[in-house]
Amino acid sequence: MYQVTVTPQFLSGKDTFRQAVPALSWAVLIFATFILMCVFDLYILVIPFLLEFISVIPMGIWSVKRSKKIRKESATPTIITLTAKSGEIYKDNIKLNLSYSVPKNIVYIDNGHRSGKFKFYTLSFSAIITGNEVNGFIDFCLKNKVRFLV
């Protein structure tokens, strides 16, 4: 068993939802206004429709700023426990794929695999190991004869 500090590489479901709600609500509002305007011949709604349509630029800027803030909050380093069994690395009995970037000195960990009828690539965990943690982790892998991509 080996404990290492990793940095998650994708957002949780809660963070993704918090990012998507403003854009989805804006889209629903603009389409509702457009449908009301067309179906009921309410030409008075042209002005709100145009204002909603023009608001896409500030909405986009706000969404980008918000996503950067959410990303920083969700990408906090966490400590995980890894085990090595028969030349493979596992986290909570889930087999992990390892790859190492020599120039960047980063180890990438994920549990991506192809599954299902159409062999879609499924991924539920992805993280990186950086800094001083890399050398200790590589030593752990070498002692347990774990193979990873370089």
**pLDDT, tens digit (0-9, with 9 covering 90-100), for 41-66:** 888 888 888 888 888 888 878 877 87
Residue with tokens 């509702």: 32
**Residues 123-143: tens digit of each pLDDT:** 778 889 998 899 999 999 999
Residue with tokens 């980008």: 64
Eight-state DSSP code of residue 118: T
Cβ contact 5:77 at 8 Å: yes
For the whole model, what pTM was predicted? 0.60
Tokens linked to 74: 């969700």
Does the pLDDT of residue 11 top 60, yes or no? Answer: no
Residue matched to tokens 């000195």: 105
Which residues in the chain belong to E strands, given as ranges?
Answer: 2-8, 78-85, 88-91, 94-101, 106-110, 113-115, 120-122, 126-129
